[in-house]
Amino acid sequence: MCGRFALTLPNDAIAQLFAAQPANDLPQGPNYNICPTTPVHVVSAGEGIRRLQAMRWGFLPHWYKTETAGPLLINARAETLAEKPAFAEACRKRRCLIPASGFYEWPRASRGRRLPWYIRRCDDAPLAFAGIWQDWRQHSGQNGGQDCGQHDSQATCAIVTTAANQSFLPIHHRMPLMLEPQDWSLWLGESGKGAASLMQPGPEGLHLMHRVAMDVNSSGPADPR
């Protein structure tokens, strides 16, 4: 599960890290409280180049007539990614990387309260979440079953998750699929087939976790807490 995350790197540093060509409309940071449905940085590959662009965090299947026509799909389970109708084609053709500096989880504490924790790498290196993406068009009207207009397409994405490893289990039973630099090319489809081999919990002991202020429960604050 991943419901909020942070990204503190400047756009030029992200583009350099992933050897990607940056778009002109990237979100500005740093942002310590990135929320679902907002634009996020996404690295995709095609035609021999990598691109860094903004996409809506919240995958929209092509059959959604509006952004709220079905469940909000911010995460996609690795175990069923290739089988779910919403994700199957994107799993084969449109995999991506979603940069992050860390992310948040809310384990249940005493008296049933959920308290926010922040998770980052021990070496403070950036994270690369495995993701999938989809171009989506909102149907602006129908006439006798025929579309009578469409808005411009919107790029949308979801973060792939796996079962938690042992060190992460005290926080949550699911965790984002986080890829090491040597695996980025395979996930993006630049190195041929075999991306399915990456869809498993990461190594133990790579991450640190600490409690943060309850302010992160709100979508407003975007500064360090």
Residues belonging to the active site: 2, 105
Neighbours of 110 (CB within 10 A): 6
Report the alpha-carbon distance of residue 221 to residue 68 in Å, rounded: 24
CA distances from 111 to 107, 114, 115, 211 (A): 12, 9, 11, 17
Place of tokens 């180049």: 49
Secondary-structure breakdown of the chain: helix, strand, coil percentages, each rounded to the nearest 5: 15, 40, 45
The helix (H) or strand (E) run that includes residue 185 is helix 181-188
First to last CA, the chain: 21
Across-strand partners of 175? Answer: 162
Report the alpha-carbon distance of residue 162 to residue 142 in Å, rounded: 39
Assess contact for 74 and 87: CB atoms under 8 A: no
